[in-house]
Amino acid sequence: MAVQLISPNGTKNLNLTQDYVQQIFGYDASKKLTALQAYTRNSFFRACIDLRASTLSQVPFTIVRADRPDAVIYDTDRDYDFPDELSWMSNMHDLIFNTEASLVLVGSAYMGKIMDRGKLLGIQWFSPGTVEEIYDRSTGQITGFKRKIGGKYNTYDAEDVVSIYQTDPLTEIGPGNPIGTAARINADVLHSLNTYLDNVLDNGLLKATLVGVPFGTPKEERDRVERKWFDWFGGSKNGGKIKVVEADAVSVQTIGDGVESLGNLKLSLEQREMIASVMGIPMSIIMSNAANFATAKQDDVSFYTKTIIPQANRIAMKLNRSIFAQTGYRISFEPQRLETLQRHEVEKATSLSQLTGGAPILTVNEARAMLGFDPIDGSAEQAVIGSNLTTPEEAQVQDQARSDAQSESPLSAEQEGEIKAWRKKIKNAKDPLVQFNREHLPLKIYLAIRDRLESGLEVSEAFSPPWDF
């Protein structure tokens, strides 16, 4: 690094070594973060990866028999624990989280099958940094894996390890280029900014400084001046101190801009936007102040449909081929049961009804299928969405129902209990928009109450009848 040293005897050009640069700036510019290092050192980079992984791991899924798709053995929304026949899946949610995070970070994910006499007892997560593929030299196909533990390698047959790779058009076989690598540079910039600011604050907001002394000054004297300078001004407790010295004995030259100049560059926000964009995460999700409510709702749908669901389908396909096929089961993610996507489908169907002048466009069972529910016998032809055409008798019945709703709630005891649980959760969290998963409450009422809460109504008003939404 070339610098110009200014002293009372004139100026001199110097070429500083990397050691001097690191001492001056407090950061070794030759060392760039890898994606794995960024995950452990950069908070925003990690938040994006964990958001993708946690969101995907919370997508509802079912386990069915491969030969009887209608026989649901496990449902995340219905069952608390896995049945005995699926006990080997007890850590499935953690495995899904780790799989997504690993795919983003290194482009691969590995799980080992724990077998006993041909019976699957469990699935063990393998840290991707410990696993290597074994390739056939003639065909290039993967024939097995080796895993380094405690300095020793263990080898596994290909069928004993579940390997999932990030889709990559530049890679034919094996791990693909991870998404995190594309965002590594932006994470490194954020890390550099944070490191610089941390060092500046630790040094009492003292800028990088060269202290010039007369040529020929002995090394002992130069070291004494350096120690004295840092004793006076270095450290977070010495910021703002004033010292008087003889001006013709020492000259001082600051290097670079201070902290105040960073506020106008907007570097931090730009790098965060780039990281979120590469990760497929809208800024309104990762940063709550990035958009208004309407935009945030649309971004939620976009995040699921364009980022989470495609990745979930790829993971489910690999799990079915590598694990579930040999056990006679099948896993299926069902994102259509998520509240965000249910609300979107209802809003879409309602808007379509306006194009028909209020004429029916969906039957009960079509609407239930759209939301992921089973059909109801005898309801196939009953129109529910978009129907504004009623007979006088039907209108009279509806008016009477609205009148009755003013005096008493039409909810069952289970539904009333769920309402109370919802209100209690809001009170404890002190947040009217806290996440609440319904079980018995009708979807139409649930969505209407959520709309009332999001519009800013008081909690008591949002939960008050009438229920004729």
- pLDDT for the residue numbered 22: 46
Question: If you average pLDDT over residues 447-458, what whole number do you get?
Answer: 84
- pLDDT for the residue numbered 21: 43
- pLDDT for the residue numbered 465: 75
Residue 85 pLDDT class (50, 70, 90 cuts):
confident
- pLDDT for the residue numbered 348: 76
Residue 261 pLDDT class (50, 70, 90 cuts):
low
Q: What is the pLDDT of residues 102-140, one digit of tens each?
A: 999 999 999 999 988 888 899 999 999 899 999 998 888
- pLDDT for the residue numbered 24: 42
When comparing pLDDT for 375 and 341, which is higher?
Answer: 341
Question: If you average pLDDT over residues 280-287, what whole number do you get?
Answer: 88
Tokens 């977070």, residue?
236
Q: What is the token pair recorded at 304?
A: 């699921």
Q: What is the pLDDT of residues 210-225, one digit of tens each?
A: 677 777 778 888 788 7
Strands 119-126 and 108-116, how do they pair?
antiparallel
Residue 250 in this model has a pLDDT that exceeds 70:
no
b or e along 326-341 (b: 16 or more beta carbons within 10 Å of the residue's beta carbon)? ebebbbbbbbbbbbeb
Residues 6 or more apart in contact with residue 374 via CB below 8 angstroms: 368
- Rounded CA-CA distance 452/459 in Å is 9
- Phi, psi angles (nearest 5°) of residue 114: -95, 110
Question: If you average pLDDT over residues 187-198, what whole number do you get?
Answer: 76
Strands 131-135 and 209-212, how do they pair?
unpaired
Ranges 68-72, 267-271, 308-312, most confident? 308-312
- pLDDT for the residue numbered 13: 55
